[in-house]
Structure formats: C-alpha cells, structure tokens
Structure 1
Amino acid sequence: MPDRNAVSWTCLMSGHVLSGLPEEAFEMFRAMLREGPECRPTSFTFGSVLRACQDAGPDWLGFAAQVHGLVSKTVFTSNTTVCNALISMYGSCSVGSPILAKRVFDTAPVKDLITWNAMMSVYAKKGDAICTFNLFRAMQYDASAIELRPTEHTFGSLITVTYLSSCSSGVLDQLFVRVLKSGCSSDLYVGSALVSAFARHGMLDEAKDIFLSLKERNAVTLNGLIVGLVKQQNGEAAAEIFMGTRDSAAINVDTYVVLLSAIAEFSTAEQGLRKGREVHGHALRAGLIFMKIAISNGLVNMYAKCGAIDKACRVFQLMEARDRISWNTIIAALDQNGYCEAAIINYYLMRQDCISPSNFAAISGLSSCAGLRLLAAGQQLHCDVVKWGLYLDTSVSNALVKMYGECGAMSECWEIFNSMSAHDVVSWNSIMGVMAGSQAPITECVQVFSNMMRSGLVPNKVTFVNLLSSLIPLSVLELGKQIHSIVLKHGITEDNAVDNALISCYAKSGDVDSCEQLFSKMSGRRDSVSWNSMISGYIYNGHLQEAMDCVWLMMHSDQMMDHCTFSIVLNACASVAALERGMEMHAFGLRSHLESDVVVESALVDMYSKCGRIDYASKVFHSMTQKNEFSWNSMISGYARHGLGRKALEIFEEMQESGESPDHVTFVSVLSACSHAGLVERGLGYIELMKDHGILPQIEHYSCVIDLLGRAGELKKIQEYMKRMPMRPNTFIWRTVLVACQQSKDSGKIDLGREASMMLLELEPENPVNYVLASKFHAAIGRWEDTAKARAAMKGAAVKKEAGRSWVTLCDGVHTFIAGDRSHPNTKEIYEKLSFLIQKIRNAGYVPLTEYVLHDLDEENKEELLSYHSEKLAVAFVLTRSSSGGPIRIMKNLRVCGDCHTAFKYISQIVGRKIILRDSIRFHHFEDGECSCGDYW
C-alpha cells in the first residue's frame, strides 16, 4: 500500500490476532510505531495489541507492560475500551495479575458493564470467590445510579468461581435461582458454566438436566459435563455422554483430551480399551489425529493405562511431531508397564531430539533405572537432573533416593535425602522403603519413622507398610503390636495393604490368632495378597491343614487364586512331602487355567520331586512350553536328590543348549548330582566351568566338592583342596569333612576327624548338630571316652539334640514317630509288626549294624535300640494299615542311618513293595532289595 495509516495497520494487526498469530501482531505494532506521527495508535490499535498480549501468555508480560506505558502517555489512558482490554490482558498474563488488573480497574474514570465483568472474570479465573462476590455486590451498588444489570458474562464468572474455589453447593443453588429469574438460563455461555459447576460439585443429575435442556450446545458445554464427571471419577458416564451427543454437539480437541483421560481411569482395563478404540476411531474419521499433538498424547496415555502398551507405542511412532508432553507420556507409560529398558532408551531419544527433560521424564527414567538396578544409567540421569535444576523439585529428589536405594548405593541415597531442602511424606516413605529392601536394622528404621513424626508430617499407609516390611523378617511380636497401635491411632482401620503387612508380621512372630482376627475383619475386602498372606502364615507356623482349608475357602469366594497362591501352597506341600495335597493343588490349577503359567509349573516340578514323584516332576517339566531358571534348577536338583545324577547332568546340558544361563544355584545342584553319583572328575570340571559363565564359586560350591571327594574316600585330596580354597572353611565345610571321616577307611581319618570336630565346636558351640556329629565320629572309631566327652560338652552348652522324627501321610492325616515311640494309638500292632519284620529280614540275611549306636552298650542292647528307630516304626505302621501293593512313602527330618538303610532294602524285598524314604539329604527308592542310591549317600 502506498498510503498506510493507523486504520490499515490496526486492521492488519487485528487479522493476525484473530488468526492466532500474536507475535506477528507485535511485529506489525513495532513497524507501525516506526512509521511516524501520521500512524499514531488509536484506541482500537491498543485494543488489538493488548488482545495479542493476552493470547501470548506470561512470557510476554514485559512487552505488555511496555504497551501499557505507551497507553499512559496518550489520551487513551482514560478510554474505557482500552482500560477494559488492559484488565483482561493482565488477567491472563501472570499469576500475580489480579493486583495489576485491579490497579487499572480502580483508576478507570468510567466503568461500564464490560469493565465490571472483566474484573470479575479475572478474580473468577484465579478461584478467588471472596473478591469476585465482593465486586459483584459493589457492581449492584453502583447499578442503582447507572442502571447496570448482570449479564450472561457476569453470571458466567460467578458460576465459574463456585467450582474453582471451595464454595458450597448451596451458593451454586442460590446463583441458579438468580439466573432463572434473570432469563439467562438458556444462554449458551451461562448454560455451559452451570453444567460444569453442577457436575464438578457432584450434582450429576442436575448437570445432565441442564445439558439436555440447552437448545444449543458447543464443545465447551460438552467438555464441562465430561470434566465434571471425570472429577467425580465417573469416566464410564463421561464416555456415554460423548457417544450420545457427538453428532449434535461440536467437538474440539479438548473434548477428546478430557475424554481420553477419563477412559484411562475406567474401573476395568477391558472396558476402557473398548471405549478408547471407539473414540480413537471417531478422531480418525474427524481427521484430528495427525493434526493435533494433544489428541495423540491422550491416546498414548489412554492405551498405556488400559494395558495396551503396544498400541500406545504404535500411536507414538506414527506421530509426525512430538512435544515434551509426548515424550513424558511414552516414557511414563513404558515405566509403569514394566518396560524399563525401553523407557530409558526413549529418555535418551528425547534428549537426542533436543528436548530438555522435565521433572516427569526424570522421575520415570529414574524409576526405570531403579527397576533394572542400573546404577550407571541412574547416575547419568542424575547429571541431567542437576544440569537442568530439576533437583529443586521434591518429587525428583524422592525418585533419586529410591533409585540409589534400589541399586544398593545406600551412601548416595542418604546423601541425596540429607541434602533435600524439604521432605514430604513421599521422601520419608522412599527412604524407609529402601531401608526395608536392604534389610537395614529395625532400630534404624524405627529411628527414621520417629524423625518423620517429629517433623510434623502425618504418616500414611505406605509409611506403615514400609515400616512393617522392615519388621517382618525379624519376628519381633511386641514391636509389631506397638506399630499396630500407632496404625489404629492414625485412623487407618480398613486398608488392605496395611492389614496384609500386619498379617505377615504377626505370622512371622508366631501369633496365628492375631492373623486370624485381622483376616476375619477383612471379610468382604480381601484381595489376593490377603489370602496369600494368611495361607503363608499358616504354612510358616506348620498349620498345613488350616492352610489348605483357607485355600478351599478362597476357591469358593469371589477371589480368584493367582500363581502366587499356588506357588506358596505347593512349596508348603513340598516342604512336608504332602503329595496328595500337592496333587489337589495341581488339579485346582488345571481348573483355574493356571497350569501353563511358568511360575506354577516350576513350583509343580519342585513339589513333585520333593514329594518323591520324580516321574511326575519330569512329565510336568518336559511338557512346559516355557522354562525359566527356577524350572531348570528344580529339575536338576530333583534328579540329584533322587540319586539320578547322570539324568541331572543331562538336563544341565539341555539347559545350556537352550540358551538359558546357569546361575550359582544351578551349579550347587550339578555338583550335588556329581557327588551322589560319584562323578569326581566331572564335578571338579564343573567348578572350572563356573568361571566360564562368570560365576565365582562360593562356599556352598566348595562344600559340594568336599562332599564329592569325601564320598569317594579321598581324604588327602580334601586336605589339599581346603588349602587352595580362597576363603576360610566354615561349619558346612567342617561338617562335610567330619561325615567323610566317619565313613572313610583311610588311616588318616582320625586326625582329620578330630580337627573337624574341634573346629565345629569352636565355630558354632550353640549348634547341637555339631555335638551329634562329633559323637557319631568318635563312636564310629570306637573312642567311647571321647563320645562321652562330646555328650558332656553338649550338656554343658545347654543345647539339645533335635529328635529324629519320621512321618507318613495317610487318608486320615499325618502320623509322626520318634525312636522308641509308644504314644501312637496303634502301638501294640506297630511293635508286633516290627518284630515280625525284623525276624523275617534276619532270616533273609540282615545283620544289625551296631556301629551306628552311639552308646557303649553290649551288642544285644545296641540291636534293640536300632530296631526302634523312627523310620522302622513308620514302615511297620503303614504295613499294619495297608496291604495294597502301592509305594510306601516315609519322610525323615534327619539323615537315615546305615542300619535302617540296610534294613529297608531287606524289607522292600520281603513285603514286595517299593519304599520311598526322604531324609534330610536325598531320596532313597528301595525296591527288590536294592536302593536307588547304590549305597552311596
């Protein structure tokens, strides 16, 4: 244009403002000022540029102040239109804007209705109900003179402030009556505000009625209702409203964003995913997905929270442009869904995209580092946190505390915690959580809890769960009761997480009654953890029958059993060799469709092998479609325990061929298999193989090698090997040496055995097992005086030998026996049957091995003592109750003696039945006069 004046410049600026280009409008304004006096700004010019400042946001507050300065130098400083624009502009530019806006309002020479409404809108947007209503009263006072009446904008501000502040629903009801009297209720702006207000106050029926009564609706109306429903945690209703009105109401980006956030909070992930797909399809048809980043971000969040992380990643990958929120959302989604490695990778990709990390991205990244125990990666993120000043955010510092704690760097963890300028409840919970995880002394955990209380913060349920978790391993009943009383004092009476932790705490302390009382009070709100805690409590305290009853109740409740429940019960069945109970659980698992779960299948392998059914264990193992370390280890150790060493080594070779890396537990089982099979050279070779797998042999591996050499009678090699060990021998090593000396025929066994005996009593004088082993050794070499000394030393140390017990499980329960036991109701029949068996096997060639009697008695008395060992009583009892040809299963808590081992071979041949005996070392399968161990145990 050859001739440009103020009008042309103003029109151009106004066009840029209406097009959402405030910065271009600022450039036009600067260019206009450079034109000279003939292009002086008018009131309309200032109105346009101030509107641009309002749209530009807080970053342009300085420029807005400069424009205000220019206005003050012109005649327009008293212009009502310009004053109104200044008030609206200050109301949108910064947090402190009400003060600046009020200053303009107070100095305005003339206030029209727009002036009053603009100032009320400023207060309303900030949620300042007192100032808003005071201004409304002042407006009514002035209205008597200038005849101003409240308009739809007046009511809109008043209604808005009721839900942005703490106003009661009664205030809203009074306003609604005033609106009805004014005739503004049908106005779209007022109606939208009323819908939002009633919905956010939880008055959903009223909100829906107003929404449906409006003849005209727009996106603001719809968004108001949806936001209100979301605030009331009623996402399902929000989705229904959207589906029912999407064709009659204009829908904008905010509608989709709000609705997707509501769907993400649905009560069930399946329902949320179904509705989310519908909204996704609607947005695709509307052509908004690839145009609006906010919708794509909402979709990523929705899919992630509904458990469809693959779809969330797909949406993210298809995004043509990504902002900081996009990266925050995908990193958080991956972290929360357990894809920690992918979360860390995306964090680095975000940094490569030249996007600075936010506190949300840092928290998610640190959480993933903690989950993977990646200290180095966590330290790199820590550098970013310091570089970008994110450490000032308490939540970020809390994430750092957790990361260092989970990675085992407790000194750095405490350094971060102590350097924090302020601690919130999460800070204290984080440090207590890592202390519980690192098994810090309970006194330190209690001290931290006391410090938190002294700081004035109120503990929440997470605080108590962490505190109780640190207490559970210690079995300290009184302290647990004290913490329980503090929990009740703080009004936490019906929280599952706390009650579950209390049940575990009481169970570990042996207080089953308190466990049952808590569990009973939780009726109606028990979750899977509650049931598992109670079942574990019963099992820990030896109440297997009660545990199985609890499982039965769980099955008949609304709570579905999970793999954790099955694993707990199967492990309990394995510990006491309750085969029938274990098979019942297997059947339950089949009916619950959990048989294909790798955790359950692995527990089944372990249970069957420990209950003597290695054939069932093998069948389950070979039917598994997926195996983990525990699966392989259970099968290898199972074969080793049953004396099938070569089978165990075959499974180990299969494990290596499958690509599964063995761990230190695997090699313990492999070495044990070599020991039971007498494979000395292969066992020594496996010790060297450990180094190839990057596993440093530990004391338990060396103990297996000593046992391997001892069973082979290589006492000299044992002494040489012990000298080469990188650590001092512990009690496990010396016990193995002493047992080897007892069984060896080597002439050097006396000196080595005495040394082992002396070291055991020196290292562990409170353990009765050491005295018993010393007595057995001295008895085996005929030194009865030393045997008596060992017994006297045991008495002087006030320790008692664990009684040998054997038990069998029949249809009417578990029957337990000790040596010479006469307390059983069927004692007469048992002893008669045993006498008959002894006579029969004597006739077959059995000769009592009296060297296993640890008393200096005559041979006849020794033979009598041997006759009444607990395992012999157990087999006699079973034979009085059952004449079927099925296997006889006997469990013993101690190692079977050589005499009973020999007797059982004869008994299996005489009665024509297989006898399966599990002692503390392994399984013995006696059949037709032979044992599976080959007399090598």
Structure 2
Amino acid sequence: MRLSQTIMSSSALPLPHRCSFTTTTSFAQSNHTYSSTPVNNKAPLASPHLDQQCSSQDSIKRHFDHGFPQKPKTIRYRFSQLCKEGQIHVARQLFDSIPQPTTVLWNAIIIGYICNDLHHEAIALYSKMMKSSSQHQPDPYTFSSVLKACAETKELRIGKAVHCHILRSCIYAGRIVYNSLLNMYATCLSSFDALYSCDLVKRVFSTMPKRNVVAWNTMISWYLKTERPVEGLVHFVMMLKMGIKPTPVSFVNVFPATSRVMDVQIAHVLYGMVIKFGDEYVNDLFVVSSAIYMYAELGCLADARRIFDHCLERNIEIWNSLIGGCVQNNCAIEALHLFLEALQAQDDVGVDDVTFLSALTATSQLQSLGFAQQLHASLIKNSLVSHAILQNAIVSTYSKCNSISESFRVFNGMQERDIVSWNTMVSALVQNGMDVEGLMLVHEMQSQKFMIDGVTIAAVLSAASNLRNLDIGKQTHAYLIRHRIQFEGMNTYLIDMYAKSGMMKAAQAVFNMNCSKDRDPAMWNAMISANTHNGLIEKSFAVLRQMLELDLTPTAVTLASILPACSQSGSLALGKAIHGFAIRNFLDDNVFVGSALVDMYSKSGAIHYAESVFEKSPNKNSITYTNMIVGYGQHGMGDKAILLFNAWRGSGFQPDGVPFLAALSACSYSGLITEGLQIFESMRDHEVQPSLEHYACVVDMLGRVGRVVEAYMFADEIDEECNVLGIWGSLLAACRIHKNFELGKVVADKLLALAGGDKTTGYHVLLSNIYAAEGNWEYVNRVRRGMREKGLTKEVGCSWINISGVAHCFASKDEAHPVCCEIYEMLGYLSTNMKDAGYSASLRWQEVWISEFGE
C-alpha cells in the first residue's frame, strides 16, 4: 500500500522540507511528527533539545525587549538560514571557506543537502569528511544523516559501507543510529532479499541493545513490505507485551497487515485500542485513512463509512480511501456519490489524480457513458486532463462504456504517450471486438520504438484467440521465446489461443510444460475451458479430477468453465452435483457461476431450475440476463423472454447487441413476429448497430412463419458486406419447409455463388431436397454428383438421452452403441405398429437420398 510504504520509509527518519540547524538534530528520534502534519507537507525535524530551544528563544526575546543586546549569530545559525531560503550553494561556499570545520558544521551542511533533496551531494560530502585529515570525526548524528541519504537514494552498497564505518569507529551508536540503520536496510532491501538471503533488517533489530517504538514500527512495516503480515502482527503484540506504548504510526503500519490476513476480529480489536488511546489517535488523519482502507479491504464498508462519518477532519487521502474502498467492493454508485460530495466538501480537500482515477473506475463498472463524459469535462476544467495517467484512464473508461471512438479520439489527441497509453488503447480495441485494428496499432507502436511488454503480448494473444488466427498466435509465442519475456498468466493466454485455434495438442503441451505445483488456478481453468470448447468433455472432467486429487480447491471460474461441459454431455445429474458443490462452498452467489448455472440448466432441458437459479441470484450481469432470455427462447417461452428483456431495459440498463440477439432468437423460436420486428427497430433507439447475426435472425424469424418473400426482400436490401451464408442459408431452409421451390432455387444460386468449400455441404443437401420434393430427379442427381466430385459429405447429426446418470449418444446408421441390435429391433417393431395404425409419411425423397448418397 502506498500509504504504508510512505510511513514505513519515514516513521523512523522524518525529514523536513525546511529545517532549523540551531541545535544538533537527530533523524531518528521522533515518531509523532505525522499526527498533526498535513499530508502533502513534510514533518519538521525533531530535535532532542526542542523544548530548551524554544525557551532560549523566548529568553532572548525578553532580553531584547528590555534593552539587552542580542547575542551574535553563529555560523551554524547562518547555515540554517541559507538552507531555509534554498541557498545551499551559498552555504557550501561559506563552509568551504572554513579551514577546520567542526563535526557540528559538517553535520549542518550534510543535513542542509538532505533537506533540499540533494541526497547524492550529502553522501559525497560525507565521503569528503571521511577522507579529510580533520580531527573532527563523524558522530552519531553524522551517521544518522548520511544513512537517511542512502535510504532516499536506495544506495544499499554505500549504506553498508557506512554501517562498516560505524562498527569501526567504536562509538556508542545508540538508538538514533540503530533506527537509521533499520530504516536504510528496510528501504533499500526487497522482498527477494529478505526471503532468499540474510534478513539484514531482522539482524540489525536483534542486535539493538534498546528498542524504542520507532524501531518496532520500522520492523512491522518491514514485515508488511516483504509480504509477512502475520509476523508483523506478532511483533506488534510483542511490543505491547514489553510495555511500549504504540504511536499513531504503529497503527498505520499494523492495519494493512490485518487486512492481508483477512481477520475482521483482529481489525475490531486494533481499532478498539485506537479508541482507548484517545482523541489524539482517533482523529489522526493517517490512522483514519489506514483504518478505512483496512475495513474496505476486509469488505466491511459499513465500518469504514462509520469511521469516515465520525472523523473531525478529512483530507483528500481519507476521501480517496473510502471512494477506493467502494470501488473495490463493487459499490460504484456509492463511490460516485462520495466523489460528488468530495467536490462540494467545505473543508476544501481539493480532489487529486487518485480521486478522479477512482471515479473513472466506478464509471467503468457502471458503463455510464454520460457520467464518463462529465468526468472528462471536469478534468479539462480543472486542467488535469494533460496528466498521462488520467488520459490513460479516460481511454479505458470510454472503451468499457462501449464508446471506442471516443477512446481513440482521446488517445489520438495525447501529446505524449507512454507504454501504458499504447497498451490501454490496444487492449480497448481487442476487448471491443476490433482485433485487427488492435494488431495494426501494435505494429504502429513498434514503429515508434516502443518496446512490447507482457501487457501488449496478452492483448495480441487475445486478438489471435478471437480471430482464430494460428499464424499470429505462433509468431507471438516465438517472439516470447526469443525475447525471453515472462509475465503473470502467460501460459494461460497461450493455452486459450491454441485451444480456440483448434490446436489442442499445442495447448496440452503448454499445460504439461509446468509442474502440477507450479500451475496457478487460472491455468487449470484455462485447460478445462479449452477441452470444453473443443468438445473434449471427458478430458475436461479428467482435468478437474486431477485438480481435486492435488487438493486444489476449484474457484468460481473453475465451476463456470466446467458447467458448459455438463450441458454438452447431457448429464443433468453431474450439473446438479456441481451446483451442490457451489452452494456448500458459498460460490453460488458469484455472478459467473450463477450465469453458467442458468445456461447449463436451460440447455439440459430443466428450464424451471434455470428460472429458480436466476430468481435467487443476488448478483446478475448482462450475461445472466442474456442466458435466461436465450433459455426461454429455446423452450418456446417467447412471452417470458420478451417480458424479461423489457423489464431489464426498463431498469435503466443500456443493452448492447448480444441481448438484442437473444430476444430476437426467442421471438423467432416462438413465432412472435410483430414483437421481434419491434425489438429490431428499437435497436437504433439504443444506438446499437445491427450486425450480421441480427439480420440473419430477422430473416429466419420471417421464414419460419412462411413469410419467405418478405424475408427475401429484407435480405436483398442488406448491404453487400452483410451478404453472408447464414442469412441466405436460413432463407433457403424456409423455402424448402414452406414449399416455395422457385424462390428456393434463386436463393440457392445466390448462396452457392457466395460460398465455397466444406461450408456449402448443408446448402447442397437443402437444394437437393428441394429438387426431390419437386420431383425433379435429374437435378437431384446433378447436385449429388457435384458433391461427390468436390468430396463433400453431409455431417452426421447426433442426439443423446440420459438414463441413470449415463448419457447415450445416437447417430444415423450408428452401430457403435453396445445394444444397437436391440435398438434397431425395437425401431422395426415400432415402425410396423405405426404402419398398422395407418400412419404414413412422405419420405420418398429422403429415403432415396439416404440410400444412394449415404452409401
């Protein structure tokens, strides 16, 4: 957490922006400088003789008032004044003119450099001091100051050298130097250094003869930085047991550790201690902000809001903590209400970049284009729109509000673009289905000398997956190998790309490259989804079984990935078992699991179960509603589908093309032509451009009820680029069903002129059936002969039935079933009975087709 890192790096060694040098100063003595300091200002230096300094100044003033002459200013005082005025170069010239400066003067000029953020110059001056022949050697305040400079510049090597100087100097280091050493090591070292080498921070802490609260605070922050929150909490308890009273900074450091271990009880106990210590702690701005963040991380927004409402003073960090907490907990509306309150706040908090970033994220969650435009206008008004981080966020927000044109306009108007800007725009294009444009932008990005990173690669692999373009996917994989690029989730993207391109062997090879213990949940989920997508149902369940054998608990995404396999296998019992697992593990409330359950039950024929899951789901998104509408349509319940669709639109939802397609399909299945045409016409009212699928659905809807001429006229008016197989193929089927043979031939000629290859097999069969129904056997033979010459074969249909938990699949002329002899014997018996009962069917042309072409 940025706040905790700031406190960690500063709690032991607070530095001023302007500091006084009238007394010798320690950088590690005070721990209370943050409790009353505004956020954006640095705390003043804490002096061990601060009270004496103030009293001496009052005494001088009284003497002056009584006519006594004022004591002459010292050189040290002159250094102080110059540093306050930012004239450190003048102070250095004055220092260089002194032949034998004392240690106090060396310290004064070193501290002056640090106060003016010239840390490298401070280190260089310390080096010069060590090399000088002066009898004045560094004292604890010198070491404390230069260690602070090493911490600020992350100069670990120099910091270790200073540590050696301290050990060789044989001076009594005391808590001042030890605290500075702790801070230097805690700032310069990383989590890797702590976990895979000697923990120098812990080692220094263990050698301290006496530890004050500053040392304990630094250790707690160090454990938090190195992802060891439990040890941080343990040290906080140890500090209490040793009788050391925690400071506000102690709670600022320990609150994030509590949120990491996800223990609400510990959070209540710690905040109870804050209340017990009194108003100084309760009203400390950093404590309030950290407590709000802790409760938001734990999902306790009510507690976070209660702390926010009761604090006497609020700075922008407190507002940001609560707004960010609401966004994190998917309470986007509450977050935007707070944002508006912050804009109108009477304490003049002044919203910053972080506030706007949170508001833009909340807007993205709501997909509210209107509010996104208002935020954009507000940024322009406040002259913040030029900030790159905000421009990138605006690009992302517009794309998530389905306004990719606005995203590109903002991106195109950026005067300076960084790698994040390019990645944001590329990802926005891919996520909005503009995969080719995204790939072209990557090419442009490379031409402008921007290096591709993991985020770019993830977007390119997603584009390759969406386009089912194996060549681009392979080239990207080769680029990864050549440039040795590694990023989190890389193998998951590769598995998905190869699976969607039909290369399951390559996907399995990527999966097998990693040991079982090295596979993260996302990789397992990707492999399950890959097998399901390619119809390898048994392998999907085999991967799930392997996952369970390794004691890996399935996540919500795992269940959402395996549930489609249940509907494909026809195993309703297995789907129910997975539903029961979701309930027992409290995953049924997850929006993705709920959507997958609705889809599974409706496709398995259990529409009432699907309705029950839908009604009980506390969280619903567009996929949940769409799946339910599709389910109603597939079961001929068009009226319910339209009612749900209209209710959904009435709730303020702005639908995209997918829900409209689901509603049109439902109308087509149920023969609700008038309602379907009204829904199609209303698409433009919602600024949704009809796609090929929408046009095909309208043609199919008209054709199903025999309005084939009207369907033909509708299809003929569509733009040439929309003349695809699906539209004319649907119309051809309708012509055959409703015996409009002449129109069917016209449609067939247009269809076969558009298509080529294996995709036309079904349309050749339809045309042959039309000629057979018309009795034109010459043309039937001609079509059949043409299919043989082209090597086209009719895809065999398949159906299944589930008996006692076992799915039985059947296909035409199937002899693979273990009891196929008994089945055919029963079919013959039923056929004889049907004929005896007087049933006859006009199947002459189908029988001819099956007997002659099927052989």
Superposition TM-score, scaled by structure 2 size: 0.77
Q: How does 1:304-315 map to 2 (within 5 A)?
A: 304-315=296-307
Give the equivalent residue in structure 2 for 1:138.
129
Give the equivalent residue in structure 2 for 1:931.
none
Give the equivalent residue in structure 2 for 1:363.
357
Further displaced range: 615-624 or 341-350: 615-624
Contact 2:728 2:751 in 1 (8 A): yes
Give the equivalent residue in structure 2 for 1:152.
140
Give the equivalent residue in structure 2 for 1:768.
761
Shift of residue 197 of structure 1?
3.2
Cα distance in structure 2, aligned partners of 1:622 and 1:250: 53
Structure label with greater radius of gyration: 1
SS in structure 2 opposite 1:524? helix
Cα distance in structure 2, aligned partners of 1:585 and 1:810: 19
Shift of residue 426 of structure 1?
2.0
Superposition TM-score, scaled by structure 1 size: 0.71
> Does residue 1:87 correspond to 2:79, yes or no?
yes
CA, structure 1 residues 470+103, in 2 after alignment: closer, same or farther (shift >3 Å)? farther
Shift of residue 546 of structure 1?
0.5
> Does residue 1:279 correspond to 2:259, yes or no?
no
Give the equivalent residue in structure 1 for 2:152.
164
Cα distance in structure 2, aligned partners of 1:166 and 1:666: 54
What's the CA shift string for 1:34-64, capped at 9, x where partnerless? xxxxxxxxx999x9xxxxxxx99999xxxxx
> Does residue 1:434 correspond to 2:414, yes or no?
no
What's the CA shift string for 1:480-506, capped at 9, x where partnerless? 23322322344345x441111111111
Give the equivalent residue in structure 1 for 2:183.
196
Cα distance in structure 2, aligned partners of 1:228 and 1:594: 35
Shift of residue 543 of structure 1?
0.9
CA, structure 1 residues 688+726, in 2 after alignment: closer, same or farther (shift >3 Å)? farther
> Which of the numbers 315, 320, 343 marks the counterpart of 1:323?
315
Cα distance in structure 2, aligned partners of 1:335 and 1:675: 40
Contact 2:376 2:394 in 1 (8 A): yes
Contact 2:79 2:108 in 1 (8 A): yes
Cα distance in structure 2, aligned partners of 1:712 and 1:166: 76
Give the equivalent residue in structure 1 for 2:204.
207
Contact 1:779 1:854 in 2 (8 A): no
Shift of residue 132 of structure 1?
2.9
CA, structure 1 residues 840+533, in 2 after alignment: closer, same or farther (shift >3 Å)? same
Give the letter aligned to residue 161 of structure 1: A
Cα distance in structure 1, aligned partners of 2:779 and 2:847: 11
Q: How does 1:898-909 map to 2 (within 5 A)?
A: none
Cα distance in structure 1, aligned partners of 2:444 and 2:708: 58
Q: How does 1:389-400 map to 2 (within 5 A)?
A: 389-400=383-394
Contact 1:156 1:190 in 2 (8 A): yes
Cα distance in structure 1, aligned partners of 2:748 and 2:726: 12
Cα distance in structure 2, aligned partners of 1:730 and 1:209: 75
Give the equivalent residue in structure 1 for 2:233.
239
Give the letter aligned to residue 191 of structure 1: Y
> Does residue 1:565 correspond to 2:558, yes or no?
yes
SS in structure 2 opposite 1:767? helix
Shift of residue 127 of structure 1?
7.0
Give the letter aligned to residue 277 of structure 1: H
Cα distance in structure 2, aligned partners of 1:665 and 1:804: 27
Give the equivalent residue in structure 2 for 1:225.
219
Give the letter aligned to residue 188 of structure 1: R
> Does residue 1:104 correspond to 2:113, yes or no?
no
How many residues in Structure 1 have an aligned counterpart in Structure 2?
776
Shift of residue 436 of structure 1?
1.8
Give the equivalent residue in structure 2 for 1:113.
103
Cα distance in structure 1, aligned partners of 2:668 and 2:138: 95
> Which of the numbers 267, 288, 296 marks the counterpart of 2:280?
288
SS in structure 1 opposite 2:283? coil
CA, structure 1 residues 530+722, in 2 after alignment: closer, same or farther (shift >3 Å)? closer
Identity of aligned residues (%): 25
Cα distance in structure 2, aligned partners of 1:594 and 1:329: 28
Give the letter aligned to residue 470 of structure 1: A
Cα distance in structure 2, aligned partners of 1:715 and 1:166: 76
Shift of residue 468 of structure 1?
1.3
SS in structure 2 opposite 1:288? helix
Give the equivalent residue in structure 1 for 2:66.
none
CA, structure 1 residues 598+463, in 2 after alignment: closer, same or farther (shift >3 Å)? closer
> Does residue 1:299 correspond to 2:276, yes or no?
no
Cα distance in structure 1, aligned partners of 2:431 and 2:644: 35
> Does residue 1:499 correspond to 2:491, yes or no?
yes
Shift of residue 570 of structure 1?
1.8
CA, structure 1 residues 233+130, in 2 after alignment: closer, same or farther (shift >3 Å)? farther
Cα distance in structure 2, aligned partners of 1:391 and 1:434: 19
> Which of the numbers 461, 467, 475 marks the counterpart of 2:460?
467
> Does residue 1:257 correspond to 2:244, yes or no?
no
> Which of the numbers 396, 404, 407 marks the counterpart of 1:413?
407
Shift of residue 469 of structure 1?
1.5
Give the letter aligned to residue 283 of structure 2: M
Give the letter aligned to residue 233 of structure 2: A
Q: How does 1:521-540 map to 2 (within 5 A)?
A: 521-522=513-514, 523-540=516-533
Shift of residue 547 of structure 1?
0.3
Cα distance in structure 2, aligned partners of 1:542 and 1:22: 66
Contact 1:204 1:229 in 2 (8 A): no
Contact 1:80 1:110 in 2 (8 A): no
Cα distance in structure 2, aligned partners of 1:307 and 1:322: 22
CA, structure 1 residues 321+801, in 2 after alignment: closer, same or farther (shift >3 Å)? same
Cα distance in structure 1, aligned partners of 2:617 and 2:835: 47
SS in structure 1 opposite 2:605? coil
> Does residue 1:380 correspond to 2:412, yes or no?
no
Cα distance in structure 2, aligned partners of 1:676 and 1:387: 52
CA, structure 1 residues 376+697, in 2 after alignment: closer, same or farther (shift >3 Å)? closer
Q: How does 1:661-740 map to 2 (within 5 A)?
A: 683-685=673-675, 687-688=677-678, 734-740=728-734
Cα distance in structure 2, aligned partners of 1:422 and 1:465: 23
Give the equivalent residue in structure 2 for 1:344.
336
What's the CA shift string for 1:834-889, capped at 9, x where partnerless? 44443343334343432452748xxxxx8x789x99xxxxxxxxxxxxxxxxxxxx
Unaligned 5+ residue runs, structure 1?
1-20, 27-42, 48-54, 60-78, 857-861, 870-937
> Does residue 1:486 correspond to 2:479, yes or no?
yes
Cα distance in structure 2, aligned partners of 1:517 and 1:637: 36
Cα distance in structure 2, aligned partners of 1:92 and 1:454: 49
Give the letter aligned to residue 207 of structure 1: V
Shift of residue 549 of structure 1?
0.8
SS in structure 1 opposite 2:840? coil
CA, structure 1 residues 306+415, in 2 after alignment: closer, same or farther (shift >3 Å)? same
Give the letter aligned to residue 343 of structure 1: A
Shift of residue 769 of structure 1?
2.8
What's the CA shift string for 1:725-764, capped at 9, x where partnerless? 999997656555544443447xxx3444444444444555
> Which of the numbers 510, 514, 525 marks the counterpart of 2:502?
510
Give the equivalent residue in structure 2 for 1:900.
none
What's the CA shift string for 1:239-290, capped at 9, x where partnerless? 33333325744544444434445555x3x3x13x544433322222222355
Unaligned 5+ residue runs, structure 2?
1-15, 26-36, 43-70, 190-198
Cα distance in structure 1, aligned partners of 2:201 and 2:755: 72
Shift of residue 533 of structure 1?
0.6
Contact 1:606 1:638 in 2 (8 A): yes
Cα distance in structure 1, aligned partners of 2:618 and 2:159: 65
> Which of the numbers 770, 783, 795 marks the counterpart of 1:802?
795
Contact 1:332 1:343 in 2 (8 A): yes
Shift of residue 548 of structure 1?
0.6
